[in-house]
Amino acid sequence: MHTNALHDPAHAFMPYPAVPVPHAPTGPLAGLSFAAKDLFHIAGYPTSGGQPLLLALLGVQSRTAPTVQRLLDAGARFAGKTITDELAFSMNGQNAHFGSPINGAVPERITGGSSSGSASAVSNQLCDFALGTDTGGSVRAPASHCGLYGLRPTHGRVSLHDTLDLAPSLDTCGWFARDAATFARVADVLLGPDTTPLGTEAGGVRLLLPTDLWELATPAARKALAPARAQVEQVLGKARNTRVVLDGLDDMYWHFRHIQGAEAWQVDGGFIQRFAPPLGPGVSQRFAWSAQVSDAQAASARAFRDRFRAHMAQLLGSNGVLLLPTMPDVAPLVSEPEAGLEDYRNRSIRLLCAAGLAGLPQLSLPLAQRAGAPLGISLLGPAGSDRSLIALAEQIAQHTAA
């Protein structure tokens, strides 16, 4: 509940002095506290993007991102800005400059990133919910690793105005909460009604099991996810097998990386070239690689994305919901070397890039465990079905509790 690092044993928050941020005295989120990834501008606070030279260049901001303002206007209390992986271009949850937030569910494992501090703050119960961003999995991965609900919304549905970009055509604004009910309260404020509402009765939703994506989970993870899968099927009906991969998994992986790399270099390349900031391990290599993505590669990737969107729209129709593992396995250990994390990241992207390329909402539910660590299972629906996915998660949670 503190921005004061003296009271932040989870190392979730940026160590900024606490400047009061006013919120409405009443409203639908009254009584809830929230944190925001340090990509969101908040008047009176700096914005670092996890990069100290950028922090210095950008300085203290005079504007507040509208998504943050919306939460304040709904009565939520601001608890602080959270550490993000450097320039949001990592999935490790480790920041070479500002340190590594601690996973509240399993401290010896990484939170995942890049919304690492937000997942840490919520999983350590330092606030009730927290804003993150998800370009390639930066909300879904930490949600799965830390045992939280986490949403990547339909692309463009939640404003990222006055927020630092990574790759704008892929960037989305999501959030974390520990329970489905709190998650839904935030959704009411940030999402409003769905453009593609799903039937919430059994039979109203067509549950689909993408077997090609399930193969990306480790055998142990698949086994650990089986009870969660059964739990979802009890509420939504038996899932039918399907396949979603177009062309091939490697193709999808490279197309995703080419779009992300080309845009990330467009966003941050000027800063990196002009100021040569020291970048942490992995991040430095990823930007160097991004600088090399050719126009032809990016154009080919965007053409593929158009085809994939049409393919997914046809597959899901207005009531198809994919049930899939959020991540290939539980979070790697904090002690895992960079090379091992890079390998895990590359396998994860193959699983995460379906929603990213298609611009579709994906909600991770904390319904499984393996080796004492959390493991998320995801619902992925048609564009504009975000609020319905959350309602389904509430149903599943209630069914389980009953």
From 1-9, 159-167, 192-200, 230-238, give the range in contact with its own copies by CB under 8 A. 1-9
Q: What type of residue sits at position 148?
A: L
Rule CB under 8 A: is residue 280 a binding residue for its own copies? yes
Question: Is 270 a residue that touches its own copies (CB under 8 A)?
Answer: no
Sign of the dihedral through C-alpha 178, 183, 184, 186: positive
Contacts of its own copies in 47-86 (CB under 8 A): 52-53, 55-60, 62, 83
- Rounded Cα distance, 382 and 372, in Å: 33
Tokens of 178: 């520990």
* Least Cβ distance, residue 129 to its own copies (angstroms): 23
Nearer to its own copies, 18 or 230 (CB): 18
Q: Is 379 in the site for its own copies (CB under 8 A)?
A: no
CA distances, 127 to each of 66, 79, 120, 397 (Å): 20, 7, 10, 21
For its own copies (CB under 8 A), the number of binding residues is 35
Q: Is 105:129 a contact under the CB 8 Å cutoff?
A: no
Nearer to its own copies, 55 or 208 (CB): 55
- The yes-or-no answer on residue 37 being catalytic is yes
Using rule CB under 8 A, residue 126 touches its own copies? no
Q: Which of the following is catalytic: 114, 144, 290, 385?
A: 114
Q: Does 162 engage in binding with its own copies (CB under 8 A)?
A: no
Cα 220 to Cα 385: distance, rounded to the nearest angstrom: 31
Nearer to its own copies, 275 or 317 (CB): 275
Q: Is 239 in the site for its own copies (CB under 8 A)?
A: no
- Sole window of 93-101, 137-145, 239-247, 391-399 interacting with its own copies (rule: CB under 8 A): 93-101
- Is 112 among the residues that bind its own copies (CB under 8 A)? no
Task: Give dist(CA 70, CA 60) in Å, integer.
Answer: 21
Among 11, 140, 145, 229, binds its own copies (CB under 8 A): 11
Given a contact cutoff of 8 angstroms between Cβ atoms, the answer to whether 79 and 7 are in contact is no
**CB count in 10 Å sphere of residue 156:** 14
305 in contact with its own copies (CB under 8 A): no
Question: Rg of the Cα trace of the chain?
Answer: 19
The DSSP symbol for 198 reads P
CA distance 334 to 313: 38
Residues 145, 388: Cα–Cα separation, whole Å: 24
The CA distances from residue 364 to 71, 76, 180, 205, 309, in Å, are 22, 23, 11, 17, 21
β-pairing, 240-242 vs 77-82, is unpaired
Residue 81 is a catalytic residue: no
In angstroms, give the least distance from the CB of 346 to its own copies: 24
Q: Which of 17, 193, 203, 219 binds its own copies (CB under 8 A)?
A: 17
- Name which of 97 and 302 has its Cβ closer to its own copies: 97
| Shortest distance, position 50 Cβ to its own copies, whole Å | 10
Residues that bind its own copies (CB under 8 A): 3-6, 8, 11, 14-19, 44-46, 52-53, 55-60, 62, 83, 95-99, 276-280
Q: Which residues are catalytic?
A: 37, 114, 138
